[in-house]
Amino acid sequence: MRSAEITGWGKCLPPAVLSNDDLATVMDTSDEWIRSRTGIGQRHISHVGTAELASVAAQRALDAAGLDGTDIDMIILATASPDTLVPNIAATVQANIGARCAAFDINAACSGFLYGLGLATAQVRSGQSQRVLVVGAERLTFYLNWTLRDTAVLFGDGAGAVVVEATDEPVGVLSYAMNNDPEGREILKVAGFGSAMDRSDPEAMSFFLQFEGREIFKRAIAGMGRLSQQVLAESGVSPEQVDLVVPHQANVRIIDTLIGKMGLPKEKAFVNIERYGNTSAATVPIALCDALEAGRIQPGDTLLSCAFGAGLTSAAAVIKWGQRTTPLRTSTAELPPCDQTGLELIRDAVARDKAKAAQ
């Protein structure tokens, strides 16, 4: 049976970093407060749009696979923070990498990359596509209200991408599952954004990310745990046979609880949230790249990946890694230089939110 093997991978993190200590200068928080509750130490702040982050990650993934844009049959771009709604930003990435194919965005929030990987796998298995580029890219700091500590400390910007190719070898995505829990739709949202906005209202731009942390924690564990069990059973893999779990990086407590419920040692979970915060749809592909760079993924390894997000979406996949763990080409794709610090990049937004709160 045809399978979809990951043959290329790439990430893009903007250069400006915002540390917990930096945040403590603009809000009532501390490094200890943030780390103890989330595991986050810093996050990246982008000086460019989401499409540019996505384009660099995509080109790096193509280079890792030894491919050009013209070799790609489809581009699936997962994001909840696109530069433009019309057109989709997959079209921008397509133009930047020189592809000639179908290209579209999906919004499944933090589960978006695994949704995209599932759709790409179905395309490959059906014979409709030979090679699909899947990108997860976010600029979530655009949505933050910097006076709301509980959300402002959690999120960062970044992008990651993979190339999946058809193969007759018993590797690649063995099983995947996607789900949505609409009863939880209101507990994680950006209210007032989109065509629901009243464009005649001067307050219409006062939208920001908001959520109910306790309820999300509970539903995230349940959703990811159930789908993880499902894909393991469908692929005939026991939890003990999993070499590495690559979960969505939202909160280290969620990851620890999930791994514990699966009966696995903490060491089997790949965790990089300390460096990036929650980059939503980009967390899983960035983590895959980091795991490969750190030597945590070896030829033939069995991976389990899972995620949850607004909707409330959830997704999981079992992946049998192939023989190659190093890029075929060195990529020269880079972002334009940034001459500002993370604090400088958010300065105007912080002033805006404080002025609004003082009214």
- H or E element that contains 121: helix 112-126
Q: In terms of residues, how long is the chain?
A: 359
User: Are the beta carbons of 49 and 162 closer than 8 angstroms?
Assistant: no
Catalytic: 306?
A: no
Matching residue, tokens 């945590």:
296
Q: At 88, is the secondary structure helix, strand, or coil?
A: coil
Query: For the residues of 156-202, what is the DSSP string, one character each?
Result: -EEEEEEEEEEESSS-EEEEEEEEE-GGGGGGEEETT-STTS-TT-T
SS3 (DSSP) at 342: helix
Annotation says 110 is catalytic: yes
Question: What type of residue sits at position 28?
Answer: D
Catalytic residue among 20, 47, 88, 248: 248
Residue 160: Cβ within 10 Å count: 33
In the chain, DSSP finds a helix count (H) and a strand count (E) of: 11, 13
Which whole-number Å values give the CA distances from 81 to 141, 182, 200, in the listed order?
Answer: 9, 21, 23
β-bridge mates for residue 315, sequence order = 178, 307
- Residues forming beta bridges with residue 159, ordered by sequence position: 12, 137
- 12, 110, 289, 306: the catalytic one is 110
| Adjacency order of strands within the sheet including 131-139 | 3-12, 157-167, 131-139, 74-78, 102-106
The question of whether 44 is a catalytic residue gets the answer: no
Task: Please answer whether residues 63 and 328 qualify as being in contact, where contact means their C-beta atoms are separated by less than 8 angstroms.
Answer: yes
CA–CA distance, 65 with 30 (Å, rounded to integer): 42
Written as one letter, the residue type at 231 is V
Measured CA angle at 294 (ends 292, 300), to 5 deg: 45
Q: Cβ of 201: how many Cβ atoms within 10 Å?
A: 10
Residues with a known catalytic role: 110, 248, 278
